[in-house]
Amino acid sequence: MSEPTGVIHDIGYQRYTGPRLGRRHVFGALYLHGLRTVFGLGRTAKAKIFPWLVVGIVTLVAAGITAVRSQIGEVVMTYAQFADSMSWLVIFFVAVAAPELVSRDLRSGVLPLYFSRPLPRDDYPLAKLLALVSAIWLLLGGPQLVMFLGAAFTTDKGMSGVWDELLDLLPGLLYAGLWAAVFASIGLLVASLTGKRAFAAGGIVAVFLMTTPIVGTLSILPSRTINELAFLASPSTLVGGVGTWALGDLLVPEGRGGGVPIGDFGPVYGVAAVLLVAACVALLLLRYRKVAAR
Protein backbone atom coordinates (compact mmCIF):
# COMPACT_ATOMS: atom_id res chain seq x y z
CA MET A 1 0.00 0.00 0.00
CA SER A 2 1.52 3.28 -1.13
CA GLU A 3 1.95 6.32 1.01
CA PRO A 4 -0.87 8.86 0.85
CA THR A 5 0.05 11.58 -1.57
CA GLY A 6 -2.44 14.25 -0.58
CA VAL A 7 -1.16 17.71 0.17
CA ILE A 8 -2.80 20.33 2.32
CA HIS A 9 -2.42 23.65 0.57
CA ASP A 10 -2.25 26.85 2.52
CA ILE A 11 -4.71 28.97 0.56
CA GLY A 12 -4.40 31.94 2.88
CA TYR A 13 -7.33 31.69 5.31
CA GLN A 14 -6.50 33.72 8.39
CA ARG A 15 -7.45 33.27 12.01
CA TYR A 16 -9.50 35.98 13.65
CA THR A 17 -7.14 38.02 15.79
CA GLY A 18 -9.31 41.03 16.57
CA PRO A 19 -10.94 41.73 19.92
CA ARG A 20 -13.47 39.15 21.09
CA LEU A 21 -16.55 40.51 22.84
CA GLY A 22 -17.24 38.57 26.00
CA ARG A 23 -20.16 37.42 28.07
CA ARG A 24 -21.49 40.91 28.73
CA HIS A 25 -21.94 41.59 25.05
CA VAL A 26 -23.63 38.27 24.39
CA PHE A 27 -26.02 39.02 27.22
CA GLY A 28 -26.63 42.53 25.91
CA ALA A 29 -27.29 41.31 22.37
CA LEU A 30 -29.67 38.63 23.62
CA TYR A 31 -31.51 41.18 25.77
CA LEU A 32 -31.86 43.71 22.96
CA HIS A 33 -32.99 41.03 20.53
CA GLY A 34 -35.54 39.84 23.08
CA LEU A 35 -36.91 43.34 23.57
CA ARG A 36 -37.24 43.80 19.81
CA THR A 37 -38.91 40.40 19.45
CA VAL A 38 -41.57 41.27 22.01
CA PHE A 39 -42.69 44.29 20.01
CA GLY A 40 -42.14 42.58 16.66
CA LEU A 41 -39.47 45.05 15.56
CA GLY A 42 -37.35 43.78 12.70
CA ARG A 43 -39.99 41.17 11.87
CA THR A 44 -42.92 40.98 9.49
CA ALA A 45 -46.09 43.01 9.89
CA LYS A 46 -47.95 39.91 11.11
CA ALA A 47 -45.69 39.68 14.15
CA LYS A 48 -46.49 43.30 15.03
CA ILE A 49 -50.29 43.01 15.05
CA PHE A 50 -50.89 41.69 18.56
CA PRO A 51 -48.23 43.57 20.57
CA TRP A 52 -49.06 46.88 18.96
CA LEU A 53 -52.79 46.25 19.37
CA VAL A 54 -52.21 46.11 23.13
CA VAL A 55 -49.92 49.15 23.09
CA GLY A 56 -52.49 51.04 21.04
CA ILE A 57 -55.38 50.28 23.40
CA VAL A 58 -53.36 51.17 26.49
CA THR A 59 -52.15 54.45 25.01
CA LEU A 60 -55.66 55.29 23.83
CA VAL A 61 -57.04 54.79 27.35
CA ALA A 62 -54.27 56.97 28.81
CA ALA A 63 -54.95 59.69 26.23
CA GLY A 64 -58.66 59.56 27.06
CA ILE A 65 -57.98 59.88 30.77
CA THR A 66 -55.62 62.78 30.13
CA ALA A 67 -58.16 64.52 27.92
CA VAL A 68 -60.91 64.19 30.53
CA ARG A 69 -58.59 65.53 33.19
CA SER A 70 -57.44 68.55 31.20
CA GLN A 71 -60.96 69.46 30.04
CA ILE A 72 -63.09 68.75 33.11
CA GLY A 73 -60.37 68.75 35.75
CA GLU A 74 -61.52 65.45 37.21
CA VAL A 75 -58.92 62.79 38.02
CA VAL A 76 -60.44 59.61 36.58
CA MET A 77 -57.59 57.31 37.60
CA THR A 78 -54.37 57.70 39.49
CA TYR A 79 -51.20 56.22 38.02
CA ALA A 80 -51.48 53.07 40.12
CA GLN A 81 -55.16 52.61 39.36
CA PHE A 82 -54.29 52.82 35.69
CA ALA A 83 -51.90 49.88 36.04
CA ASP A 84 -54.55 47.93 37.97
CA SER A 85 -57.31 48.49 35.45
CA MET A 86 -55.09 47.39 32.57
CA SER A 87 -54.45 43.97 34.12
CA TRP A 88 -56.37 41.98 31.45
CA LEU A 89 -54.37 43.64 28.71
CA VAL A 90 -51.13 42.92 30.55
CA ILE A 91 -52.13 39.23 30.78
CA PHE A 92 -52.83 39.18 27.06
CA PHE A 93 -49.53 40.95 26.35
CA VAL A 94 -47.62 38.36 28.39
CA ALA A 95 -49.48 35.57 26.57
CA VAL A 96 -48.34 37.07 23.26
CA ALA A 97 -44.78 37.94 24.24
CA ALA A 98 -43.53 35.10 26.45
CA PRO A 99 -44.08 32.24 23.92
CA GLU A 100 -42.53 34.43 21.24
CA LEU A 101 -39.42 34.79 23.41
CA VAL A 102 -38.77 31.22 24.52
CA SER A 103 -41.12 28.74 22.81
CA ARG A 104 -39.81 29.40 19.29
CA ASP A 105 -36.24 28.62 20.32
CA LEU A 106 -37.35 25.41 22.04
CA ARG A 107 -39.37 24.29 19.02
CA SER A 108 -36.77 25.00 16.36
CA GLY A 109 -34.02 23.44 18.45
CA VAL A 110 -31.51 26.29 18.27
CA LEU A 111 -30.57 26.21 21.95
CA PRO A 112 -27.34 24.19 21.34
CA LEU A 113 -26.22 27.01 19.07
CA TYR A 114 -26.75 29.54 21.83
CA PHE A 115 -24.99 27.46 24.45
CA SER A 116 -21.95 26.87 22.25
CA ARG A 117 -21.16 30.59 22.63
CA PRO A 118 -19.31 32.00 25.62
CA LEU A 119 -22.69 32.28 27.32
CA PRO A 120 -23.23 30.71 30.75
CA ARG A 121 -26.35 28.61 30.88
CA ASP A 122 -28.22 30.88 33.26
CA ASP A 123 -27.64 33.98 31.16
CA TYR A 124 -30.00 32.92 28.40
CA PRO A 125 -33.20 32.72 30.51
CA LEU A 126 -32.15 35.75 32.54
CA ALA A 127 -31.68 37.88 29.43
CA LYS A 128 -35.09 36.77 28.13
CA LEU A 129 -36.68 37.49 31.52
CA LEU A 130 -35.10 40.92 31.70
CA ALA A 131 -36.34 41.68 28.19
CA LEU A 132 -39.91 40.70 29.12
CA VAL A 133 -39.79 42.70 32.36
CA SER A 134 -38.58 45.76 30.48
CA ALA A 135 -41.26 45.32 27.82
CA ILE A 136 -44.10 45.13 30.35
CA TRP A 137 -42.67 48.07 32.26
CA LEU A 138 -42.55 50.11 29.06
CA LEU A 139 -46.11 49.02 28.25
CA LEU A 140 -47.38 50.35 31.58
CA GLY A 141 -44.89 53.17 32.04
CA GLY A 142 -45.29 54.78 28.61
CA PRO A 143 -48.99 55.62 29.03
CA GLN A 144 -48.27 56.87 32.56
CA LEU A 145 -45.77 59.27 31.03
CA VAL A 146 -48.48 60.44 28.62
CA MET A 147 -50.78 61.05 31.59
CA PHE A 148 -47.97 62.89 33.41
CA LEU A 149 -47.22 65.15 30.44
CA GLY A 150 -50.89 65.96 30.04
CA ALA A 151 -51.21 66.80 33.73
CA ALA A 152 -47.95 68.75 33.80
CA PHE A 153 -48.86 71.00 30.89
CA THR A 154 -52.37 71.74 32.13
CA THR A 155 -51.47 72.41 35.78
CA ASP A 156 -52.29 75.91 36.96
CA LYS A 157 -49.93 75.95 39.94
CA GLY A 158 -46.73 76.50 37.99
CA MET A 159 -43.59 74.53 38.73
CA SER A 160 -44.78 73.27 42.11
CA GLY A 161 -47.76 71.64 40.38
CA VAL A 162 -45.42 69.86 37.99
CA TRP A 163 -43.25 68.75 40.92
CA ASP A 164 -46.27 67.35 42.80
CA GLU A 165 -47.32 65.50 39.69
CA LEU A 166 -43.81 64.07 39.31
CA LEU A 167 -43.93 62.83 42.90
CA ASP A 168 -47.17 61.05 41.99
CA LEU A 169 -45.66 59.57 38.84
CA LEU A 170 -42.55 58.02 40.40
CA PRO A 171 -44.38 55.60 42.75
CA GLY A 172 -46.62 54.76 39.80
CA LEU A 173 -43.60 53.77 37.73
CA LEU A 174 -42.21 51.75 40.64
CA TYR A 175 -45.55 49.98 40.93
CA ALA A 176 -45.48 49.25 37.19
CA GLY A 177 -42.06 47.67 37.74
CA LEU A 178 -43.54 45.38 40.39
CA TRP A 179 -46.29 44.36 37.95
CA ALA A 180 -43.68 43.66 35.31
CA ALA A 181 -41.48 41.53 37.58
CA VAL A 182 -44.30 39.32 38.85
CA PHE A 183 -46.10 38.83 35.53
CA ALA A 184 -42.95 38.31 33.48
CA SER A 185 -41.47 35.67 35.78
CA ILE A 186 -44.69 33.62 35.91
CA GLY A 187 -45.39 34.00 32.20
CA LEU A 188 -41.90 33.07 31.08
CA LEU A 189 -41.85 30.02 33.35
CA VAL A 190 -45.10 28.70 31.86
CA ALA A 191 -43.98 29.45 28.31
CA SER A 192 -40.63 27.70 28.78
CA LEU A 193 -42.45 24.42 29.49
CA THR A 194 -43.70 23.94 25.94
CA GLY A 195 -42.37 24.54 22.47
CA LYS A 196 -45.82 25.15 21.04
CA ARG A 197 -46.67 28.84 21.11
CA ALA A 198 -50.40 28.16 21.01
CA PHE A 199 -50.32 25.97 24.09
CA ALA A 200 -47.98 28.33 25.91
CA ALA A 201 -50.36 31.24 25.33
CA GLY A 202 -53.35 29.20 26.51
CA GLY A 203 -51.47 28.02 29.59
CA ILE A 204 -50.42 31.51 30.62
CA VAL A 205 -53.94 32.86 30.31
CA ALA A 206 -55.34 29.86 32.19
CA VAL A 207 -52.92 30.39 35.09
CA PHE A 208 -53.68 34.09 35.42
CA LEU A 209 -57.43 33.95 34.86
CA MET A 210 -58.08 30.93 37.02
CA THR A 211 -56.59 32.56 40.09
CA THR A 212 -58.72 35.73 40.05
CA PRO A 213 -62.09 34.10 40.93
CA ILE A 214 -60.32 32.16 43.71
CA VAL A 215 -59.60 35.50 45.36
CA GLY A 216 -63.23 36.51 44.89
CA THR A 217 -64.38 33.33 46.63
CA LEU A 218 -61.84 33.36 49.45
CA SER A 219 -62.62 36.97 50.29
CA ILE A 220 -66.24 36.16 51.17
CA LEU A 221 -65.45 33.24 53.47
CA PRO A 222 -66.55 33.79 57.09
CA SER A 223 -63.08 34.46 58.49
CA ARG A 224 -61.46 37.85 58.66
CA THR A 225 -57.95 36.41 58.49
CA ILE A 226 -58.70 34.43 55.33
CA ASN A 227 -60.40 37.47 53.81
CA GLU A 228 -57.35 39.62 54.36
CA LEU A 229 -54.99 36.90 53.12
CA ALA A 230 -57.20 36.03 50.13
CA PHE A 231 -55.42 38.43 47.79
CA LEU A 232 -52.30 36.25 47.94
CA ALA A 233 -54.02 33.74 45.68
CA SER A 234 -53.78 35.71 42.43
CA PRO A 235 -50.75 37.50 40.93
CA SER A 236 -52.62 40.70 40.09
CA THR A 237 -54.20 41.11 43.53
CA LEU A 238 -50.89 40.11 45.14
CA VAL A 239 -49.26 43.02 43.35
CA GLY A 240 -52.10 45.25 44.48
CA GLY A 241 -51.59 44.12 48.07
CA VAL A 242 -47.86 44.81 47.99
CA GLY A 243 -48.54 48.22 46.47
CA THR A 244 -51.06 49.08 49.17
CA TRP A 245 -48.59 48.05 51.86
CA ALA A 246 -45.33 49.46 50.51
CA LEU A 247 -46.44 52.59 48.72
CA GLY A 248 -49.77 53.13 50.47
CA ASP A 249 -50.98 56.70 50.22
CA LEU A 250 -48.53 57.45 47.45
CA LEU A 251 -50.51 55.16 45.15
CA VAL A 252 -54.04 56.05 46.14
CA PRO A 253 -54.65 59.43 47.76
CA GLU A 254 -56.84 59.63 50.85
CA GLY A 255 -60.57 59.49 50.33
CA ARG A 256 -60.56 57.74 46.97
CA GLY A 257 -61.44 54.43 48.56
CA GLY A 258 -58.89 52.47 46.60
CA GLY A 259 -56.31 49.94 47.61
CA VAL A 260 -56.72 46.36 48.70
CA PRO A 261 -58.07 45.64 52.19
CA ILE A 262 -55.17 43.59 53.49
CA GLY A 263 -55.37 44.53 57.16
CA ASP A 264 -52.08 44.11 59.03
CA PHE A 265 -50.69 41.48 56.69
CA GLY A 266 -48.71 43.94 54.55
CA PRO A 267 -45.28 42.37 55.24
CA VAL A 268 -46.71 38.92 54.39
CA TYR A 269 -47.63 40.26 50.96
CA GLY A 270 -44.17 41.73 50.47
CA VAL A 271 -42.49 38.46 51.40
CA ALA A 272 -44.92 36.45 49.27
CA ALA A 273 -44.23 38.59 46.19
CA VAL A 274 -40.47 38.27 46.62
CA LEU A 275 -40.76 34.51 47.20
CA LEU A 276 -43.02 34.09 44.16
CA VAL A 277 -40.64 35.90 41.83
CA ALA A 278 -37.63 34.10 43.31
CA ALA A 279 -39.30 30.69 43.00
CA CYS A 280 -40.32 31.34 39.39
CA VAL A 281 -36.80 32.47 38.46
CA ALA A 282 -35.26 29.47 40.22
CA LEU A 283 -37.60 27.06 38.42
CA LEU A 284 -36.84 28.80 35.13
CA LEU A 285 -33.10 28.36 35.67
CA LEU A 286 -33.64 24.70 36.63
CA ARG A 287 -35.71 24.19 33.49
CA TYR A 288 -32.89 25.53 31.34
CA ARG A 289 -30.35 23.32 33.10
CA LYS A 290 -32.41 20.38 31.85
CA VAL A 291 -33.10 21.74 28.37
CA ALA A 292 -29.46 22.67 27.84
CA ALA A 293 -28.29 19.22 28.89
CA ARG A 294 -30.37 17.56 26.18
Partner 1 sequence: MSTVSWITARGLFGRRRFLMLLPLPLVLVALAVLCRSLGVDPGQWGPPVLVGLGLAVVLPVVALIVGTGVLGAEIDDGTVVHILTKPLPRWQIVLPKLAVAVGVSAATVAVPLYVAGVLADSVRLGLALAAASALGALAYSALFLALSLVTRRPVLLGLVYVLIWEGLLGNFVSGTKVLSIQQWVIALADRMAPTELLSTTVSVPVAGVLTALVSVGFTVLAIDRLRSFSVAGETS
Q: Shortest gap between Cβ of 43 and partner 1 (angstroms)?
A: 6
Q: Using the rule CB under 8 A, is 225 a contact of partner 1?
A: no
Q: Residue 104 gets which letter from DSSP?
A: H
Q: Using the rule CB under 8 A, is 64 a contact of partner 1?
A: no
* Total number of residues shown for the chain: 294
- Can you say whether residue 261 is alpha, beta or left, with left for phi > 0 and alpha for psi between -120 and 50 degrees? beta
Q: Shortest gap between Cβ of 66 and partner 1 (angstroms)?
A: 18
Q: Which is nearer to partner 1, 31 or 93 (CB)?
A: 93
Contacts of 247 (CB under 8 A, 6+ apart): 80, 171, 174, 175
Q: Using the rule CB under 8 A, is 60 a contact of partner 1?
A: no
Positions in 254-293 near partner 1 (CB under 8 A): none
Q: Using the rule CB under 8 A, is 221 a contact of partner 1?
A: yes
Contacts of 255 (CB under 8 A, 6+ apart): none
Q: How many CB atoms lie within 10 A of CB 53?
A: 14
- Cα separation, 63 vs 143, in Å, equals 8
Annotate each residue in 156-195 with x if it binds partner 1 (CB under 8 A) or - if it does not, as one string: --------------------------------------x-
The alpha helices in the chain, defined as continuous H runs, are: 23-38, 45-72, 79-85, 87-98, 104-108, 111-115, 123-154, 159-191, 197-218, 224-229, 235-246, 266-293
Q: Choose, by CB under 8 A, the member of 29, 47, 174, 272 that binds partner 1.
A: 47
Q: Using the rule CB under 8 A, is 202 a contact of partner 1?
A: yes
Q: Choose, by CB under 8 A, the member of 199, 258, 265, 292 that binds partner 1.
A: 199
Q: Choose, by CB under 8 A, the member of 64, 217, 271, 282 that binds partner 1.
A: 217
Burial of 27 (0-12, 13-18, 19+ CB in 10 A): middle
Q: Using the rule CB under 8 A, is 94 a contact of partner 1?
A: no
Q: Using the rule CB under 8 A, is 209 a contact of partner 1?
A: yes
Q: Which residues sit at the interface with partner 1, rule CB under 8 A?
A: 43-44, 46-47, 50, 53, 57, 88-89, 91-92, 95-96, 194, 196-199, 201-203, 205-206, 209-210, 212-214, 216-217, 220-222
